[in-house]
Structure 1
């Protein structure tokens, strides 16, 4: 019997098209539901109640967690769980949870004011990275190479940022222009790729068009990914790692991962892996 799944997203990208295309091969029908059209809150959640599962792939860092929470509360199978989505949306909470669980993360300071920022500059060595607590795709992530530049950059945060946009992290610059993206489905590391920043842009983010190549399933990587899953619960994640002199650290975890880069670099059929996992849960 075919099961019905809603992809809740603000737009359809390559990943969503692949999931919709491969769904019938796995006994699924997947429909796109615009995340601006749900109007959740009714206890029966009429906009999603006819679906067997809801796959939350909203890129918004305000909508995803809210949608997941209300859909889950209404009794609809929701991927990922509301707790996992909320943690992934908030870099400060995610890193604190992972660090408490014994998963290695970069050193960081939460910056909510100019005073916080100046303390962070005193406590951490240049070069540093300033990034928003809420955000993704490499946007508004800034490399600070000297103190004078740092103060000028923070002027923009202080004067132009609104509400949660002013919540930032300051952390040491790690990675040297490379990072490892791991695609996790359920509890399995499906594929791993190393992203290398291209041109003059130092940020190693697949959304910025950087190059990628397949990465081996290093035992240390597998162990760290296992620790992430143990804390967040099984789900569909993009786990970004930096390699340091002391081993790998988790930079961030994406609850609605783009997997085109990993699929292209490794040849893995990521969409089918996700569809099989969803089908197992709704069987």
Structure 2
């Protein structure tokens, strides 16, 4: 298989591990910076170049598109798809997952439980909006945040009002959620590949912090998720159209609640915590699921 990895930096842990796994499984692999890919778009004629040379003949592409380049990176991935290249995470699925509000709406529509969430636009509605949610504490999240950035805990109603008004003044897109106290600052990252959870870790926030992200000083240990947790993680991944995802859950009194579905989950923390070769699982899944490359729609440009 001729495999491309879309990544801004080939030295990042996740990218390096995918390269190693691809080579161990005897695939040809190349890392492509999505910002150096450029496209020709015409009716029935799609072409892409990279640093002055055409990109052709790739059987599959694994996207590792960071949040800061979502728009352009997803356009590059879409161009690969239109040229007949297979991907486990299609461009539209990545866009769904990156927009927290959209993802929450789609998941809730399929009966997947999450912390109660509210969203509004007009400042005149702030009081009633917060009443819909219930008493504080409240968790306020930017809709395109990552790694815990842009996530704020408001412990009083006055704080929720003030933060909401400030974010609206900055024209930021955000949502407000209930705070699930019984989770005690911990969450569960389930790594989904295809139809199963291949690894999971429990992340614990440090003292004085409610965000359990490893980038925020959280600690992680490998765990065996329950059947219900595995089921909801796989379902959430499929609802958004992803083949590979990191699904963040919290354990609540009413069962597992989905916090987020990450379309480009990091490998370092969970491989270290679980001791599992997740990169190898990903490459094997891609190789098994991607058929021989289809011809490009239209004539092929040299």
What is the TM-score with the length of structure 2 in the denominator? Answer: 0.85
Distance across 1 between alignment mates of 2:157 and 2:36: 45
Structure 2 Cα separation of the partners of residues 80 and 45 of structure 1:
21
Distance 2:216 2:47 in 1: 36
Please list, as runs of the form range in 1=range in 2, the aligned pairs for 1:182-261 lying within 5 A after superposition: 182-233=190-241, 235-261=243-269
Residue in 2 aligned with 1:33?
32
- Cα gap change, 1:226 to 1:135, in 2 (>3 Å): same
Following superposition, the deviation at residue 129 of structure 1 comes to 0.6
Paired with 2:92 and 2:225, the residues of 1 have a C-alpha distance of 27
CA contact (8 A) 1:110 1:167 kept: no
State the Cα deviation string for residues 17-76 of structure 1 (Å, max 9, x = none): 111122111122322211211123534232343322121111124334333333222322
Q: Distance in 2 between matches of 1:216 and 1:128?
A: 30
1-side partners of 2:131 and 2:40: how far apart?
A: 46
SS at match of 1:256: coil
Selected match of 2:123 from 114, 118, 124: 114
Separation in structure 2 between the aligned mates of residue 118 and residue 40 of structure 1, nearest angstrom: 47
Following TM superposition, by how much is the alpha carbon of 1:8 offset from its aligned partner in structure 2, in angstroms? 1.1
Tell me how far apart the structure 2 counterparts of residues 206 and 135 of structure 1 sit (CA, whole Å): 15
Query: 2-side partners of 1:230 and 1:158: how far apart?
Result: 33
1:100 to 90, 94, 109: 109
Matches within 5 A, 1:10-159: 10-12=8-10, 13-42=12-41, 43-47=45-49, 48-60=55-67, 61-124=70-133, 125-159=135-169
Structure 1: segments with no counterpart, 5+ residues: none
Provide TM-score, normalisation by structure 1: 0.90
- Stretches (4+) displaced over 6 A: none
Which secondary structure does the structure 1 equivalent of 2:35 belong to? coil
Corresponding position: 1:170 with 2:176: yes
Q: Retained in 2: the 8 A contact 1:53–1:76?
A: yes
Matched pairs, number? 277
Equivalent-residue separation in structure 2 for 1:235 and 1:59 (angstroms): 17
Give me the whole-angstrom Cα distance separating, in 2, the residues matched to 1:40 and 1:208: 37
Tell me, in whole angstroms, the C-alpha distance in 2 between the residues paired with 1:78 and 1:170.
33
